[in-house]
């Protein structure tokens, strides 16, 4: 019996302004194989299904445990993490494409630094006084921790931004991940001292009002973060802040 | 004088901790990282961070933490820095708590603690089963705050290639490669701090992340920095074997009551649930009644190895044993271990709430690393190191949940010390050697890019990983180690004939990998040869031919220096600082 194989179709693009081409690969099937191990196999033997030598695939990856957020890409049309995409659960040929909403670098690698800029814009941090020993932190009850912890699990993979119809150049929308971080830091006993700054940062163009409630984000999130709840909560607070600012003149 | 300019290489916990201290003290930092710092390997740490805060009324003290760490490390760690770390740990937890880390809480709103391996105290603070991720994010957020204030400049997507060292042997900056444009550049600095993490890639598959190649450590090792205790490699008892890597199954699974077992009878292939208690062999609990499933990692790893390979009791005849959580209720498991159970289910396709997990030991951590003094400075003035890339805090075996605290403590220590050093540094003469170093690197790059031959770097890497895993992990025999060392020499020779299938000058991952591979090969000899020379068993280093610890001969730090010859590194030995706790026999079958 012939060895079982796995078929891949991978979208290649050598540079941001180069042409995109599809390459087909046929690899030997192995138990437990995921999309990353397939690309590792291609790197060790860079030959297409029709026997042409090619280059190893360029893609982002690091932890391979779905916690670093690096390896997001479109797999059979769906934005997801390559490491946790097991070959046995995917329809073949498995089609790999880069995320489409971010500047392409090469092959499956894109530039997602916009998310980190957004996090800076909303001051997604707790403004501690300093790192010297100032005693213990504020009391946080388990009920509160259980709200914050899931929000803090965001791995910055940007899947929620990729699938959002409103996340594009026209709107300049910050996207669900950033809004969820605003919810997180506004809920922290010390973090909330910057609450007004954060809400104002989300009040203008590209802010929370761009959300069209498509709810794609919450379905795409590999960490099951309650993104739509966070958007609803923060949306209410942004309106409250606007009213307050208007009354204050 | 002008503001000191410090370069930090690596954006994991140690690097970010150093950056924060420098920025806070008014220094200016350039932060280099291969990946966006928020994606660093520290996110993979799961179980928790140790600090003797004694919030459970057990009478825990920082001295107990110190003693457990030294004892767990089989007395190889210098005691002064370890003592300082354990004393600083409670305040580090408080700081992280103030920064907003969502640690698990008691009903009263205080920090909750759990038990980890190698101790009898509940000393480990945790944020679910993703503590490393939560800690890294807290530091990442503080660094972003300093970045917004213009005190930190990030170079993400840049790889460190080498230190720039002047004619007096003093570091004056670094060379680095932009992994997109492939541009090579020199960056000047008054001091540099390497916080470049682990070396898992030398073993092919490990629990480490893709960037953990040890390439930066190796580069400075080849430039004259000592590498210490390289032979001490931690193999984590519980990992999930995979095609692309070995995924960690946290020690916290045992800390929360997980039990390791196999069927008593070889070949008993009934489903786990149908095997009655009396026919299960809870070998850790039987062999180590005092610590049970929470013996230190080296002890648990060797026990699993023995059960599988000597007693032939692996599940279905394979190299696997059960790690069982099914006796614990779902709600508790989800609250305390949610993250890791989800990972197991995602990658294995089996629900660990219902069926015991199948696990096996996997390469996890290097206790060895760049030699540093008590101020975190290496043997080359101006090059500091912190975190897993240096050797200082774990001796011959690291205790679970001590890595996060050692990273942060090391970074907190290295940052201010680098500032202090920079303030009294004589001005640089000329360019400090930058042009010469840049030319040397450009030459290496050109040669590699134009090299002719038939070797594929990814295939050479697989061979390296296989030989290192076979000969230099759980069980070590001098014959096997010599074989591995010879194999490395062969691979170094074949590397000369590496032919990159990608010759482009844009985001060329093969090129970057080939440079890392060369460094992995050079560094791996500190492991094989260091292990050959150490004819004893201590902590993670176990030689059946020399089963006892030999303090008379080997209560010493191994220091390797690069020679550039085919014989490999030169070795010397340094006395260990044992001024506080007199070395005693290490055993876990009884209270210590």
Q: Which chain B residue is nearest to residue A68, measuring alpha carbons?
A: B39
Integer Cα distance of B433 and B164 in angstroms: 6
Query: Which active-site residues of B does the annotation give?
Result: 297
Among B45, B141, B158, B211, the strongest candidate for a mutation testing the A interface, having the largest count of A CBs within 10 A, is B141
Q: Determine what percent of chain A falls in helix, strand and coil, rounding each to the nearest 5.
A: 35, 15, 50
Chain A residues touching residue B21 (CB < 8 angstroms):
131
Interface contact B144, partner A, CB < 8 A: yes
Inter-chain Cβ pairs, chain A and chain B, closer than 8 A: 196
pLDDT (tens digit, 0 to 9) for every residue of chain B, 592 residues total?
578 999 999 999 999 999 999 999 999 999 999 999 999 999 999 989 999 999 999 999 999 999 999 999 999 999 999 999 999 999 999 999 999 999 999 999 999 999 999 999 999 999 998 999 999 999 999 999 999 999 999 999 999 999 999 999 999 999 999 999 999 999 999 999 999 999 999 999 999 999 999 999 999 999 999 999 999 999 999 999 998 999 999 999 999 999 999 999 999 989 999 999 999 999 999 999 999 999 999 999 999 999 999 999 999 989 999 999 999 999 999 988 888 898 899 999 899 999 999 999 999 999 999 999 999 999 999 999 999 999 999 999 999 999 999 999 999 999 999 999 999 999 999 999 999 999 999 999 999 999 999 999 999 999 999 999 999 999 999 999 999 999 999 999 999 999 999 999 999 999 999 999 999 999 999 999 999 999 999 999 999 999 999 999 999 999 999 999 999 999 999 999 999 999 999 999 887 7
- pLDDT at position B172, please? 98
Torsion sign (Cα): B456, B461, B466, B467: positive
B507 closest CB neighbour out of A40, A65, A109: A109
CB contact under 8 A, A135 and B94: yes
Measuring CA to CA, which residue among B295, B258, B363, B270 is closest to residue B120? B295
Residue B553 structure tokens? 């001969």
Where are chain A's structural domains? Answer: 5-110, 113-248
Buried b (16+ CB within 10 A) or exposed e, B64-78: bbbbbbbbbbbbbbb
CA distances from A166 to A63, A96, A174 (A): 30, 23, 9
How close does chain A come to B142, measured CA to CA in Å? 6
Residue B2 is predicted with a pLDDT of 78
Instruction: Suggest the residue from B210, B246, B331, B409 to mutate for an interface test with chain A (most A CBs closer than 10 A).
Output: B210
Tell me the chain A residues in contact with residue B127 when contact means C-beta distances shorter than 8 Å: 149, 152
Paired tokens of B496: 């000369």
Hey, of A28, A70, A125, which one would you mutate to test binding to chain B, going by the most B CBs within 10 A of its CB?
A125
Handedness of CA B553, B556, B558, B561 (dihedral sign): negative
The pLDDT assigned to B141 comes to 98
What residue has token string 């698990």? B104
Distance (Å) from the C-alpha of residue B399 to the closest C-alpha of chain A? 22
At B363-415, the pLDDT tens digits run 999 999 999 999 999 999 999 999 999 999 999 999 999 999 999 999 999 99
Q: Which of B517, B590, B530, B591 is nearest to B560 (CA)?
A: B530
User: What distance in Å separates residue A141's CA from the closest CA in chain B?
Assistant: 4
**Per the structure block, which two tokens stand in for B72?**
């767990």
Choose among A58, A142, A191: nearest Cβ to B107: A142
For residue A140, what is the nearest residue in chain B, using CA coordinates?
B109
**What pLDDT is recorded for position A117?**
97
Partner-chain contact A126 B100, CB within 8 Å: yes
Say if CB B514 and CB B503 are below 8 A apart. Answer: no
**Predicted TM-score of the model (pTM):** 0.97
Residues 6+ apart with CB under 8 A from B317: B266, B267
- Distance (Å, whole) CA B176 – CA B187: 8
Helices (H), B272-352: 283-287, 297-305, 330-348
Q: What pLDDT, in 10s, does the model give residues A45-85?
A: 999 999 999 999 999 999 999 999 999 999 999 999 999 99
Name the minimum distance, in Å, from the CA of A139 to any CA of chain B: 5
CA distance B332 to B288: 26
Q: How many CB atoms lie within 10 A of CB B488?
A: 25
Q: Which of B231, B248, B219 is nearest to B385 (CA)?
A: B219
- The SS3 call for residue A84 is coil
Region A26-39 average pLDDT: 96
Residue ranges of B 406-445 with Cβ closer than 8 A to chain A: 412
Closest CA to B9 of B139, B154, B130, B146: B154
Helix (H) or strand (E) holding A12: strand A5-13
Contacts of A123 in chain B (CB under 8 A): 145, 148
Q: How far is B55 from chain A (nearest CA, A)?
A: 12
Q: Which of A55, A153, A190 sits opposite B130 (nearest CB)?
A: A153
pLDDT of B367 reads 98
**What is the pLDDT at residue B335?**
87
Q: Which residue of A has its CA nearest to B112?
A: A142
- Listed by number, the residues of chain B in 148-207 with a beta carbon closer than 8 Å to a beta carbon of chain A are 148, 156, 180
Name residues 17-56 of chain B within 8 A of A (Cβ). 20-21, 24, 35-36, 38-41, 43-44
**CA atoms within 13 A of residue B24's CA, in its CB half-sphere:** 18
Name the CA radius of gyration of chain A, rounded: 21
Q: Looking at beta carbons, which residues of chain B come within 8 Å of A30?
A: 243
Beta bridge partners of B383: B192
Q: Do B507 and A138 touch (CB under 8 A)?
A: no
Question: What pLDDT does B1 receive?
Answer: 57
Cβ atoms B285, B303 nearer than 8 A: no
* DSSP 8-state class, residue A140: -
Contacts of residue B211 in chain A, CB cutoff 8 Å? Answer: 62
Q: How large is the average pLDDT for residues A3-25? A: 96
Segment A200-219 mean pLDDT: 96
- Selecting from A130, A145, A188 the residue whose C-beta is nearest the C-beta of B105 gives A145
The CATH number of the structural domain formed by A5-110 is 3.10.20.30
- ipTM value of the model? 0.98
Q: Where are the alpha helices (DSSP H) in B498-586?
A: 509-533, 551-554
**Interface test with chain A among B18, B35, B102, by most A beta carbons within 10 Å:** B102
Structure tokens at A211: 């959300």
DSSP three-state, residue B349: coil
Nearest residue, CB atoms, B144 vs list A69, A125, A148 = A125
- The answer, for A51 touching chain B at a CB cutoff of 8 Å, is no
Cβ pair A139:B109 closer than 8 A? yes
Measured distance CA(B35)–CA(B156) in Å, rounded: 6
CA distances from B566 to A172, A176, B226, B462, B545 (A): 58, 55, 18, 22, 27
HEC string of B102-169? CCCECCCCCECEEECCCCCCEEEECCCCCHHHHHHHHHHHHHHHHHHCCCEEEEECEEEEEEEECCCC
Q: Which two tokens stand for residue B374?
A: 């008590």
CA distance B364 to B238: 10
Looking at CA atoms only, how far is residue A247 from chain B in angstroms?
30
B102·A152 Cβ contact <8 A: yes
Domain A113-248 in CATH 3.40.50.12780: no
User: In A, which residues are within 8 Å of B510 by CB distance?
Assistant: 43, 55-56
Which band of pLDDT confidence, cut at 50, 70 and 90, is reported for residue A1? very low
């Amino acid at each position: 019996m012939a060895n079982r194989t796995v078929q891949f179709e991978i979208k290649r693009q050598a540079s941001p302004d180069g042409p995109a081409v599809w390459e087909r690969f046929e690899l030997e099937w192995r138990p437990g194989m995921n999309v990353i191990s397939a690309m590792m196999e291609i790197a060790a033997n860079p030959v297409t299904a029709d026997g042409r030598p090619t280059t190893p695939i360029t893609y982002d990856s690091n932890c391979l445990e779905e916690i670093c957020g690096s390896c997001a890409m479109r797999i059979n049309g769906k934005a997801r993490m390559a490491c946790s995409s097991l070959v046995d659960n995917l329809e073949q040929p498995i089609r790999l494409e880069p995320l489409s909403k971010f500047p392409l670098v090469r092959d499956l690698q894109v530039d997602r630094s916009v998310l980190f800029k957004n996090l800076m814009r909303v001051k997604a941090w707790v403004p501690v006084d300093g790192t010297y020993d100032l005693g213990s932190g504020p009391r946080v009850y388990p009920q509160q921790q259980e709200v914050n912890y899931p929000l803090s699990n965001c791995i910055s993979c940007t899947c929620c931004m990729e699938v959002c119809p409103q996340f594009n150049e026209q709107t300049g929308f910050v996207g669900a991940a950033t809004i969820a971080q605003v919810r997180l830091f506004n809920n922290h006993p010390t973090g909330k001292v910057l609450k007004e700054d954060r809400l104002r940062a989300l009040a203008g163009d590209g802010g929370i009002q761009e959300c069209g409630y498509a709810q794609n984000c919450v379905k795409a999130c590999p960490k099951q973060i309650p993104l739509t709840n966070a958007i609803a909560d923060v949306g209410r607070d942004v309106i409250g802040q606007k009213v307050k600012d208007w009354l204050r003149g | 004088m002008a503001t000191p300019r410090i370069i930090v290489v690596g954006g994991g916990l140690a690097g970010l901790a150093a950056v924060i201290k420098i920025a806070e003290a008014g220094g200016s930092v350039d932060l280099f990282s291969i990946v966006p710092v928020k994606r660093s390997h520290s996110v993979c740490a799961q179980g928790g961070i140790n600090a003797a805060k004694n919030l459970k009324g057990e009478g825990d003290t920082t001295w107990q933490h110190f003693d457990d760490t030294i004892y767990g490390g089989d007395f190889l760690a210098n005691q002064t820095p370890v003592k300082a770390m354990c004393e600083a740990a409670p305040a580090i937890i408080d700081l992280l708590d103030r920064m907003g880390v969502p640690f698990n809480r008691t009903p009263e709103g205080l920090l909750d603690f759990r038990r980890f391996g190698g101790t009898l105290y509940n000393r480990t603070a945790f944020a679910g089963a993703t503590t490393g991720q939560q800690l890294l994010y807290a530091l990442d957020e503080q660094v972003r705050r300093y970045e917004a204030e213009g005190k930190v400049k990030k170079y993400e997507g840049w790889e460190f290639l080498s230190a720039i060292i002047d004619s007096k042997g003093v570091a004056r900056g670094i060379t680095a490669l932009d992994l997109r444009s492939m541009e090579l550049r020199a960056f000047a600095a008054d001091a540099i701090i390497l916080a470049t993490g682990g070396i898992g890639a030398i073993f092919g598959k490990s629990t480490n992340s893709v960037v953990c190649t040890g390439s930066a450590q190796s580069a400075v090792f080849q430039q004259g920095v000592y590498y210490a205790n390289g032979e001490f490699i931690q193999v984590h008892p519980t990992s999930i074997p995979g095609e692309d890597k070995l995924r960690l199954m946290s020690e916290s699974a045992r800390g929360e009551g997980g039990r390791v077992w196999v069927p008593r009878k070889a070949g008993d292939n009934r489903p786990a649930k149908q095997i009655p208690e009396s026919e299960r062999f809870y070998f850790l609990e039987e062999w180590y009644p005092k610590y049970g499933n929470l013996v230190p990692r080296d002890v648990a790893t060797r026990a699993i190895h023995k059960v599988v390979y000597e007693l032939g009791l692996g599940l279905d005849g394979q190299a696997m044993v059960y790690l069982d959580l099914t006796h614990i209720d779902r709600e508790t498991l989800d609250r305390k271990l949610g993250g890791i159970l989800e990972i197991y289910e995602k990658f294995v396709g089996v629900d660990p709430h219902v069926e015991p997990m199948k696990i096996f030991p996997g390469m996890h951590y290097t206790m060895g690393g760049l030699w540093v003094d008590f101020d975190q400075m290496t043997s080359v003035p101006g090059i500091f190191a912190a975190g897993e890339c240096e050797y200082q805090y774990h001796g011959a075996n690291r205790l679970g949940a001590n890595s996060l605290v050692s990273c942060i403590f090391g970074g907190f220590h290295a940052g201010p010390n680098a500032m202090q050093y920079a303030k009294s540094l004589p001005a640089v003469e000329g360019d400090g050697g930058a042009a010469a170093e840049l030319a040397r690197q450009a030459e290496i790059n050109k040669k590699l890019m134009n090299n002719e031959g038939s070797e594929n770097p990814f295939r050479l890497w697989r061979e390296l990983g296989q030989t290192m895993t076979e000969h230099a992990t759980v069980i070590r025999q001098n014959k096997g180690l010599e074989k591995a060392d010879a194999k490395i020499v062969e691979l170094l020779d074949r590397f000369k004939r590496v032919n990159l299938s990608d010759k482009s000058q844009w985001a060329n991952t093969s090129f970057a990998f080939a440079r890392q591979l060369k460094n992995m090969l050079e560094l791996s000899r500190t492991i094989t040869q260091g292990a050959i020379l150490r004819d004893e068993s201590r902590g993670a280093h176990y030689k059946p031919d020399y089963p006892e610890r030999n303090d008379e001969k080997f209560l010493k730090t191994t220091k390797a220096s690069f020679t550039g010859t085919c014989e490999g590194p030169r070795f010397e030995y340094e006395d260990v600082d044992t001024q506080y706790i007199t070395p005693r026999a290490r055993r876990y079958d009884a209270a210590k």
